[in-house]
Amino acid sequence: MEAAVDIVLLSFLCVTVIVIVYIRKLFCAIMLLGIFSLLSASLFITMDAVDVAFTEAAVGTGISSILLLSALSLTHTRERRPSHQPYLALLVVAVTGAVLVYGTMDLPPFGDPDSAIHRHMAVRFIVDSPQEVGPPNVVTSVLASYRGYDTLGEATVIFTAGIALVGLLGFSRRKEFKVRLGGVLPDTTPVAVQVLDASNAPSTDHLVLRIVGKMFIPLIMLFALYVQFHGDYGPGGGFQAGVIFASAIMLYAMIFNVEKAMLVVTPTALRLLAVLGLMLYGGVGVLCMFLGGNFLDYNVLAHEPLHGQHLGIFLIELGVGITVFAIMVTMFYALGNRKGGSA
């Protein structure tokens, strides 16, 4: 009977994608992309891939929508009519797609335990992970320990993307902000200083949102910490926790103003945190080398290999979480501060 749920979800996905491609109102496309991400995550859950669904939920629906909307505010909201009909391209794509579908008929059935990918490394991970690495969540042990080097690469990619975005866009409002305060750096300004501006004037305009926000933002941060440290036992880990923590800051920035959010979590602090997270990860690897093992070989970190693994995984997940949080909020500041108007 779960097949029925799968079939219905996949058909919704097809319908959504067709409408996204055809519609020319970009705003509607962004809304439908949110629905697309929710549907994909539901499909991941029915396929039992819980960590992936977690990340897809946090990133696809929340952060992607916000960043796409910030980009949309810089341009037209309606796609221009295409100037030519791409029939040749359609033919090429259709032929390639048909060939690929023909190729999938040779694949082993879905979830077949005798297929090639399930017979070598997967068996070793599932059978040996409790004795060699320790955490009950095999996904975490594979990500953080067996494939720790790959995860270091992923964290570096996120860091690089953030640097590239900041290098291209920068924090354009910050200079304006400094001038208004007479040249005093925002970091040393006491938080009680209110920037009196028409758009920043405290008003009863969003009273309900402000109160609800004040109730929930600390709880969301607490939940992010729970996800971070619970990654060993359930779905979670560094990436998801960083994204959820960044969502709390974005919620604050949206309910109150981005300037106030910049006073709380300053861009300088974010730059430091991004670097700190990545250095923590690399530092753990180098520390392992100093203590006599290979790069990112956590067995040498403590008196006993399992304790060493536990400590190593804890530290690198923390590093990944810090970096992801800093980069997400940096991207939000960079995109949300363009072209005047409070975000």
Question: Smallest distance from the beta carbon of 121 to other proteins, in angstroms?
Answer: 24
Instruction: Kindly tell me the burial class for residue 177, based on how many C-beta atoms sit within 10 Å of its own C-beta (0-12, 13-18, 19 or more).
Output: middle
Contacts of 150 (CB under 8 A, 6+ apart): 143
Q: Is 276 in the site for other proteins (CB under 8 A)?
A: no
Question: Smallest distance from the beta carbon of 311 to other proteins, in angstroms?
Answer: 24
Q: Please list every residue from 65 through 104 that binds other proteins, using CB under 8 A.
A: 65-66, 69, 72-73, 77
CB 174 within 8 Å of CB 267: yes
Q: Which stretch binds other proteins (CB under 8 A): 23-31, 82-90, 150-158, 166-174?
A: 23-31
| Contacting residue, 16, 151, 309, 323, with other proteins by CB under 8 A | 16
Complete DSSP assignment for 199-213? TTS--STTHHHHHHH
Question: Smallest distance from the beta carbon of 127 to other proteins, in angstroms?
Answer: 21
Question: Smallest distance from the beta carbon of 4 to other proteins, in angstroms?
Answer: 7
- The beta strand positions in 5-71, using DSSP E, are none
Q: Which is nearer to other proteins, 127 or 212 (CB)?
A: 212
Q: Which is nearer to other proteins, 58 or 158 (CB)?
A: 58
Q: Is 223 in the site for other proteins (CB under 8 A)?
A: yes
CA distance 92 to 339: 41
Question: Smallest distance from the beta carbon of 42 to other proteins, in angstroms?
Answer: 6
- Reading phi first (left if > 0) and then psi (alpha if -120 to 50, else beta), residue 110 is in beta
Question: Smallest distance from the beta carbon of 80 to other proteins, in angstroms?
Answer: 15
CA distance 41 to 55: 9
Q: Is 111 in the site for other proteins (CB under 8 A)?
A: no
25: phi then psi, degrees, rounded to nearest 5: -85, 110
Contacts of 84 (CB under 8 A, 6+ apart): none
Cα dihedral value 102, 104, 105, 111, nearest 10: -170
Nearest to 30 by CA among 59, 53, 61, 52: 61
End-to-end CA distance of the chain: 46
CA distance 5 to 307: 42
Q: Using alpha carbons, list the distances in angstroms from residue 105 to 88, 96, 97, 117.
A: 27, 15, 13, 17
| Contacting residue, 32, 138, 221, 279, with other proteins by CB under 8 A | 32
Q: Which stretch binds other proteins (CB under 8 A): 58-66, 84-92, 298-306, 307-315?
A: 58-66
Q: Which stretch binds other proteins (CB under 8 A): 40-48, 86-94, 153-161, 323-331?
A: 40-48
Taken in order 64, 340, 272, 188, is the CA torsion positive or negative?
A: negative
Q: Which is nearer to other proteins, 251 or 331 (CB)?
A: 251
Q: Please list every residue from 279 through 338 that binds other proteins, using CB under 8 A.
A: none
Q: Is 54 in the site for other proteins (CB under 8 A)?
A: yes
Question: Smallest distance from the beta carbon of 329 to other proteins, in angstroms?
Answer: 13
| Contacting residue, 148, 186, 236, 237, with other proteins by CB under 8 A | 236
Residue ranges in contact with other proteins by CB under 8 A: 1-2, 4-5, 8-9, 12, 15-16, 19, 25-28, 31-32, 34-35, 38, 41-42, 45-46, 48, 50, 53-54, 57-58, 61-62, 65-66, 69, 72-73, 77, 199, 206, 208-209, 212, 215-216, 220, 223, 227, 230, 234-236, 240, 244, 247, 250-251, 254-255, 340-343
